[in-house]
Amino acid sequence: MVAAAAVPCAARVFGIASGMSPLEILGFVTGALCVWLLVRQNIWNWPLGLVNNALFIVLFYRNGLYADMGLQGFYIAIGVYGWWNWLHGGRDHGTVRVSRTPAAWAAGLGAGVLGGTFLLSFLLRRYTNSNVPLLDSLITALSLAAQFMMARKWLENWLVWLLANCLSIGLLIFKGLYLTSGLYAVYQVLCIMGWVEWWKVHRAAKPPRAPSEA
């Protein structure tokens, strides 16, 4: 036990240490590839994401992260919606473009995150054996908001993901899911790339300003 505890976390992240689940490794690979496709605005991120969600339902159930497990069910539903919306949700039922989050939606999503966090935390405390109900619930609520924003191709989804992933990394390390925490660290890098790439696309699509009159 002492020797195992002394193995560096970095070794665990790359699967060198024993006890790494094949399910966790497969979740790492499909998750990282899915986010990379999202950065590239590639439509195939959605079907790959559905496979990743199914893997994490099993993984989180085994580790008592019930809110995160339920979150994957929402991801499956929003994944189907996002797949359709990216193809047909734009003007004249064409492909949807990157845009900024409308102010009214931003306020509504913020309120939803707060309300959802406290509701989920209450349910986890009352009906499960979760030992991290508040943090698990906050991550879930933030992720729900970010995934919906992603499906609508709102630029700020990447900022919400950055916050959710920071919290997830700490929670997963606490739960001993070192490889999965490494995946979320990769997500952080990809989220920064996504923000930069989508911002460039959004700026390029904006019509040029008319020259000011003398």
Q: What is the 3-state secondary structure (H, E, C) of 42-83?
A: CCCHHHHHHHHHHHHHHHHHHCCCHHHHHHHHHHHHHHHHHH
Confidence of residue 183 (pLDDT cuts 50, 70, 90): confident
If we measure between CA atoms, which residue out of 167, 122, 159, 158 comes closest to residue 140?
167
* Contact (Cβ atoms closer than 8 angstroms) between residue 204 and residue 48: no
The amino acid at residue 97 is R
Cβ-Cβ contacts under 8 Å for 74 (sequence gap 6 or more)? 144, 147
For the segment 76-131, what is each residue's pLDDT rounded down to a tens digit?
999 999 999 999 887 777 888 999 999 999 999 999 999 999 998 999 899 888 88
- Whose tokens are 């300003």? That residue is 209
* Contact (Cβ atoms closer than 8 angstroms) between residue 74 and residue 67: no
Report the 10 Å Cβ neighbour count for 183.
25
| pTM for the whole structure | 0.77
Instruction: Look at residue 199 and tell me whether its pLDDT is greater than 60.
Output: yes
Coil, helix or strand for 7? Answer: coil
Coil, helix or strand for 120? Answer: helix
pLDDT at 104: 97
